[in-house]
Amino acid sequence: MLEKLREITGKIEEIQAELSRIEAKANDMDKARLDEAISVCMKGLKFEKIYSQHVAKSRYADDYEYLDGMRGIKLAEKNVKFSSGQYGKDYADRELFLMADGTFKVFYLVADISYWQDQNDVYERQVSKNQDIFQFDFDEALENLLKALEKRLINLGERTKAQQARIEKLRAMQAQ
């Protein structure tokens, strides 16, 4: 019986070691794929200010406080807590941001949302103690990176058309 326990334990240890090697290799491959995608598209991205606090007072009146000098794009998120009750809901997410300098930063977002119309919804974000980027789905990160680029392309196209229309209008006014 003791020999059988040793045999099974030995096999488990071998499989655990192999699994660790495979996971490390997969993480390296995922990170390389994400790094390559980022190096291709860094110049096309628009990095936004990252808020530390957002208070939604009403449908149109919001207050924001921003993290000093931090600009980034949210690539992925992972819910770590959620609860809902009669008066509202609250949740906590970990978020993976691509920063303007090309690095990654993990944030921790806590939201307190009220179902009452006269109450504010409050979102607070801070840099997470856990900076492990491998807790996120890299496919989701790549998909969100693509969406950010597509949104930027559409926005630039619309702005270009608006400026062209403005020039035509100004030329027409000059011709009069």
Distance CA 13, CA 60 (A): 58
According to DSSP, the β-strands at 62-84 and 48-56 are: antiparallel
pLDDT the model gives residue 105: 97
Q: Which residues pair with 81 in a beta bridge?
A: 92
Q: pLDDT tens across 18-70, in order?
A: 999 999 999 999 999 999 999 999 999 999 999 999 887 766 667 888 998 89
User: Residue 55 in 3-state DSSP?
Assistant: strand
Q: What percent of the chain stands above pLDDT 90?
A: 77
The Cα–Cα gap between 17 and 12 comes to: 9
E strands, 10-146, where? 48-56, 62-84, 88-99, 104-114, 121-127
Instruction: Give pLDDT tens digits for 2-22.
Output: 999 999 999 999 999 999 999
Across the chain, what does the average pLDDT equal? 92
* DSSP one-letter string for 5-45: HHHHHHHHHHHHHHHHHHHHHHHHHHHHHHHHHHHHHGGG-
Its domain, for residue 170, covers 2-175
User: Can you give the pLDDT at residue 115?
Assistant: 79
Domains: count for the chain: 1
* Structure confidence at residue 54 (pLDDT): 85
Mean pLDDT (whole number) for 135-144: 94
Q: How confident is the model at residue 102 (pLDDT cuts 50, 70, 90)?
A: very high
φ and ψ of 86, to 5 deg: -65, -30
pLDDT of residue 40: 92
**Exposure on the CB side of residue 12, measured as CA atoms within 13 A:** 6
Rounded distance, CA 74 to CA 144, Å?
8
